[in-house]
Amino acid sequence: MDGFRLISKPGLRRFVCIPLLINTILFALLFLVMQHYMGAFNHWFEHYLPAWLHWLSVILWIVFFVSFFLILTYTFVTIANIICAPFNSFLAEKVELYLTGQVKESRSLYENFKDIPRIVGRQLKILGYYLPRALLILILLFLPVVQAAAAIVWFLFNAWFMALTYIDYPTDNNRVSISSVRVWLNERRWVALGFGGSVLVASMIPIVNFFTIPAAVAAATKWWVEEQKSNS
């Protein structure tokens, strides 16, 4: 909620526009692509159904829309974070400036663009950390005995991934290594899981999910700034 309030501030709203536009376009493209293939599959499926079972195609569309929003939580947020990484980094810098009146290294948007390989590289490293572990948990989801526990682990691990993803923006601006960030999060594990879990839930809510990424960047930056103040 702090993040949503921050991105609505007059001094920060303009830095949300580009990430918000990218998120909206990406969401629409993903939806259209999935709708296209779902329509083709539905047409093929109806061809093999007797007339009295054509109502099953309606159920397929319901399943499609539910699945789209569930899949979107992970694919959309992950892809959008990589594409928007330079803008998210710039937003984190401006939020830190708004909260503290100073940043360790003030950079223009152009200078952030020059840093794109490094900024995107860090997000890809986080993705590289995430994927093998996520694959292992997904395998556990198909094992009958441990399915229930694996579902809880899946949610918690994705909450951890969200926390790591968004705290990376302010920490990267302050030139903190990813290994140090993971140690920092481990020391605040329950707060990290609460923050990441709230991002996951917000990502599942239509309309709200468009604003979730910039709000999460702002919230993570506020969290980082407050922790630095309390430790100084």
pLDDT tens string for the chain (232 positions)? 999 999 888 878 877 877 778 777 877 777 787 777 666 766 666 666 666 555 566 666 666 566 556 555 666 677 777 777 788 888 898 899 898 887 666 566 566 677 778 888 888 888 888 888 888 887 887 777 777 787 888 889 989 999 999 999 999 888 888 889 999 999 999 999 999 999 988 887 877 877 888 999 999 999 999 998 887 6
CB atoms within 10 A of CB 35: 14
CA distance 126 to 220: 16
DSSP 8-state assignment for residue 184: H
Residue 13 CA: distances (Å) to CA of 5, 88, 206: 10, 13, 21
Task: State the Cα–Cα distance between residues 230 and 5, nearest whole angstrom.
Answer: 22
Q: Which of 39, 63, 27, 62 is nearest to 213 (CA)?
A: 27
Which residue shows structure tokens 């899981």?
Answer: 193
CA distance 55 to 149: 36
* Nearest to 214, CA basis, from 29, 88, 90, 67: 88
